Amino acid sequence: MAPDGNMTNGFKVVGTRPKRPDGIDKVTGRAKFGADATAPGMLHASIVRSPHAHAKILKIDTSKAEALKGVKAVVTRADFAEGLTGENWNILENVMASDTALYDGHAVAAVAATTALGARDAAKLIEVEYELLPHVTDVDKAMADDAPVIRAGAADKSVPEGLHPNVVRYHESGHGDVDKGFSEADLVVEDSFKTEATHQGYIEPHACLAQLGSDGKGEVWCCTQGHFNVQKVCAALVGTDSSQIRVTPSEIGGGFGGKTVVFIEPVALALSRKANRPVKLVMSRSEVFRATGPTASTSIDIKIGMTREGKITAAQGVFRLQGGAFPGAPMEFTAMCAFAPYSLENVHQVGYDVMSNRPKQAAYRAPGSPMAAFAVESVIDELCNKLDLDSIEVRLKNASKEGTKASYGPKFERIGLVETLEAAKAHPHLTSPLAEGQGRGVSCGFWFNHGGETAVSLALSEDGTVAISVGTPDIGGSRASMAQMAAEELGIPYESIRTTVADTATLGYNEISHGSRVTYASGLATIKAARDAVKKLCGRAAAKWGIDEDAVVWEDGCAKPSGPNAGDFEPLPLAKIARSMGRTGGPIVGHYEATPEGAGVSFATHIVDAEVDKETGQTKIVRYTVVQDAGKAIHPTYVEGQFQGGAAQGIGWALNEEYIYGEDGRLQNSGFLDYRIPVASDLPMIDTVIVEVPNPGHPYGVRGVGETSICPPLAAIANAVSNAAGVRLTELPMSPPRILAALDAQANG
């Protein structure tokens, strides 16, 4: 019979570091990304966007554009489905404005022409008449009494009476009695924090190639984290059935949450339907910045009480998140993650989802958690400094463990926070000397991780090799990990397995590659699909030997009699059974479809040394160490890569990256020159320690690793910079002007 239950050691392939299957394609330029596809008769499209932060659209005149040579179709909101409600209405409103432009960059029309240059020329000829409306882009100002209303009636029932209509959702959670807790503290520290919006900054702009016929049948090729979601949303927005649209995901040039959202595919489909030709639509970098998902910006108040011995007696937080011109800022995640690392008797958190005239926020790696950690861990650092306590010891003293009632409600199962803190404590980084002008910071971070709808199929070939089809786009090497897990189960070499990200017509619905779910959920489904295939393989052997199925076991890639009583038969290798499968019952395919719910939460502890130049306000990160619980690292090199990538993005967010809006409500830095993500010369090597505390919800113990790595950096760096500068930094990014202002304010008392 197939093996069952958890195995946590004795792995042969899991935990090794094989070459990725798409390696050669990626280093030779052959890999096909979103913008690399073409089709016969293809048109190119361009989108017209509002230059205003908030304006009524009075009139759109497309006649000049339509008269231009080579122009084949123009679409506006009238060319999309009518009568949508709920989230579909929100998405359509964002994809193509109806009567009001809600932010600088909001799409108002689109055009398709025979050449890319022609489409851009035509877009310039589309005349839009606007009536300017008052706008607001700052979260605190958007909540103030005199703020312009973005959309009346957008608030849901959770919002208490008396709040501004821009507050559209409200969250409250916690337990115990915080007032009582604060009264038991020897010291209470309270502070307020702000973080600016940042962009996911994937290097590949959104791109798609789409075709839609008047019969409602369509094809889409695009770079996305979730093609099944693209299928569902596109069908709704253009008014056809999901099953009529087939979506094939291209290779994806980074997403980090930003490609979980649909922006351009419905536009290309609508243009294609009108022109009756395939349409390619590729965003420019400036469109990516102006109109796709940045994070929420935040304004946060934190209050924490602590005893002289370092025990936290109470903690409370207020989290205001600005998520652009639509509901959905992840304020409940922010509130729920904020105090999750700590075992608290008294904790209370409040969240506000606030609308403003900015692009609709999108998920960015552990959405909402990094900002919470920044505020909370800064206050903990301040308490440690004031009470003269060791920051790791304080965290250990208060750390959440198995059985702790989490700040957001449930009881934790087996978790690895203490193990990451112990590993950090033992790391030479923590005791290495600091040079003049340098400061050290540590921080913990938390993310839930996610399971979600998942379907995998695993087909045997007659030559004994295996093809796995998964429905989760490979955003970080997951095709390698899937093949490793299948190789482990089947007992055949890694190289004999090829994993493909299948299109929407091939598999059942798969949720988006988000929530650090792929190695966990598609991995679990791959293991179960392999076990399903093994069961069938054992069945074929049993039939051949004329014994009971239960008397056959699978070991080292072979079916074997389960013991002397089962009979004496030569082991049957997979390849041998596969060769005759056509004659012994037909193709052998293992599959698994489910919504796994055992994604284990994960924690990390980061250590960082920063050097601050007090003359210029410039900060240099001189040393960085990531310690994170991976549950079980399937491919340790890719796990390290996730740790390093998250830390690097965190460094950018902490020090440099921000959305800058002018008085006119326009984004002032919509390019990589002015929105500067970390470059190679900005960063040190990033040291990693993989901690493995198995997740009981996965057969091998896997926890997601992609997101937790960005939770601690903002806080760890803020602590390092504050310790180096001798003044507490409470606003991100800690760019040179902000650091100089903080130093000035301190000098002037």
Residues in contact with ligand FES by CB under 6 A are 203, 254
The correct pick among 205, 367, 694, 697 for binding another protein (CB under 8 A) is 205
Residue 77 or 635: the one with the smaller Cβ distance to ligand FES is 635
Strands 207-212 and 218-222: antiparallel
Binding mask 638-667 for another protein (x = CB under 8 A): x-xx--xx-xxx------------------
What's the alpha-carbon Rg for the chain, to the nearest Å? 27
Q: Which stretch binds another protein (CB under 8 A): 370-378, 546-554, 656-664, 677-685?
A: 677-685
Evaluate whether 623 touches 609 at the Cβ level (below 8 Å).
yes
Residue 44 or 560: the one with the smaller Cβ distance to another protein is 44
Q: Which of residues 58-97 bind another protein (CB under 8 A)?
A: none
Is 254 a residue that touches another protein (CB under 8 A)?
yes
Q: At what angle do helices 713-725 and 736-747 cross, to 10 degrees?
A: 40
Distance CA 728, CA 744 (A): 12
Taking the complex as a whole, how short is the minimal distance between the CB of residue 173 and another protein, in angstroms? 33
Residue 20 or 52: the one with the smaller Cβ distance to another protein is 20
Residue 202 or 412: the one with the smaller Cβ distance to ligand FES is 202
DSSP summary character for residue 521? I
Q: Which long-range contacts (CB under 8 A, 24 or more apart) does 573-579 make?
A: 573/464, 574/460, 574/464, 574/490, 574/491, 574/492, 574/537, 575/463, 575/464, 575/492, 576/464, 577/537, 577/540, 577/541, 578/460, 578/461, 578/462, 578/463, 578/464, 579/462, 579/463, 579/464
Binding mask 433-452 for another protein (x = CB under 8 A): --------------------
Is 40 a residue that touches another protein (CB under 8 A)?
no
Q: Which of residues 255-274 bind another protein (CB under 8 A)?
A: 255-256
64 binds, among ligand FES, another protein, none (CB under 5 to 8 A by kind): none
Whole-Å CA distances, 414 to 4, 399, 404, 418, 444: 20, 13, 10, 11, 17
Evaluate whether 287 touches 252 at the Cβ level (below 8 Å).
no
**Which amino acid belongs to residue 443?**
S
The correct pick among 476, 590, 600, 712 for binding another protein (CB under 8 A) is 476
Residue 250 or 378: the one with the smaller Cβ distance to ligand FES is 250
> If you count DSSP H runs as helices and E runs as strands, how many of each does the chain have, helices first?
19, 27
CA 692 distance to own-chain centroid: 22
Binding mask 279-318 for another protein (x = CB under 8 A): ---x-xx---------------------------------
With CB atoms as reference, the residue minimizing the distance to ligand FES is 203
Is 35 a residue that touches another protein (CB under 8 A)?
yes
Residue 254 or 636: the one with the smaller Cβ distance to ligand FES is 254
Taking the complex as a whole, how short is the minimal distance between the CB of residue 675 and ligand FES, in angstroms? 13
Q: 41: left (phi > 0), else alpha (psi -120 to 50), else beta?
A: left
Would you call 285 exposed, middle or buried from its count of C-beta atoms within 10 A (0-12, 13-18, 19+)? Answer: middle
Site size for another protein (CB under 8 A): 59
Q: Which of residues 502-561 bind another protein (CB under 8 A)?
A: none
Among 127, 135, 110, 131, which residue's Cα sits nearest to residue 55? 131
**Which amino acid belongs to residue 589?**
V
Is 32 a residue that touches another protein (CB under 8 A)?
yes
24 binds, among another protein, ligand FES, none (CB under 5 to 8 A by kind): another protein
Taking the complex as a whole, how short is the minimal distance between the CB of residue 638 and another protein, in angstroms? 6
Q: Which of residues 105-144 bind another protein (CB under 8 A)?
A: 115-117
Q: What is the largest CA-CA distance in the chain?
A: 90
**Which amino acid belongs to residue 508?**
G
Evaluate whether 226 touches 473 at the Cβ level (below 8 Å).
yes
Is 46 a residue that touches another protein (CB under 8 A)?
no
Q: Which stretch binds another protein (CB under 8 A): 7-15, 17-25, 435-443, 570-578?
A: 17-25
Residue 521 phi, psi (nearest 5):
-80, -50
The correct pick among 5, 29, 428, 433 for binding another protein (CB under 8 A) is 29
Say which residue the tokens 């598609």 belong to: 522
Evaluate whether 572 touches 558 at the Cβ level (below 8 Å).
yes
Among 171, 187, 272, which residue's Cα sits nearest to residue 221? 272
Taking the complex as a whole, how short is the minimal distance between the CB of residue 490 and another protein, in angstroms? 24
116 binds, among another protein, ligand FES, none (CB under 5 to 8 A by kind): another protein
What is the three-state SS of 212-281?
ECCCCCEEEEECCCCHHHHHHHHHHHHCCCHHHEEEEECECCCCCCCCCCCCCHHHHHHHHHHHCCCEEE
Residue 253 or 324: the one with the smaller Cβ distance to another protein is 253
Residue 497 or 639: the one with the smaller Cβ distance to another protein is 639
Reading the block at residue 429, the tokens are 């980084």
Taking the complex as a whole, how short is the minimal distance between the CB of residue 621 and ligand FES, in angstroms? 19
The correct pick among 677, 689, 693, 743 for binding another protein (CB under 8 A) is 677
746 binds, among another protein, ligand FES, none (CB under 5 to 8 A by kind): none
Residue 144 or 203: the one with the smaller Cβ distance to ligand FES is 203
Distance CA 330, CA 295 (A): 9
Among 274, 292, 271, 276, which residue's Cα sits nearest to residue 119? 271
The correct pick among 67, 203, 426, 505 for binding another protein (CB under 8 A) is 203
Taking the complex as a whole, how short is the minimal distance between the CB of residue 671 and another protein, in angstroms? 6
**Contacting residues toward another protein, per CB under 8 A:** 17, 19-20, 22-24, 26-33, 35-36, 38, 115-117, 200-205, 251-256, 282, 284-285, 475-477, 637-638, 640-641, 644-645, 647-649, 671-673, 677-683, 685-686
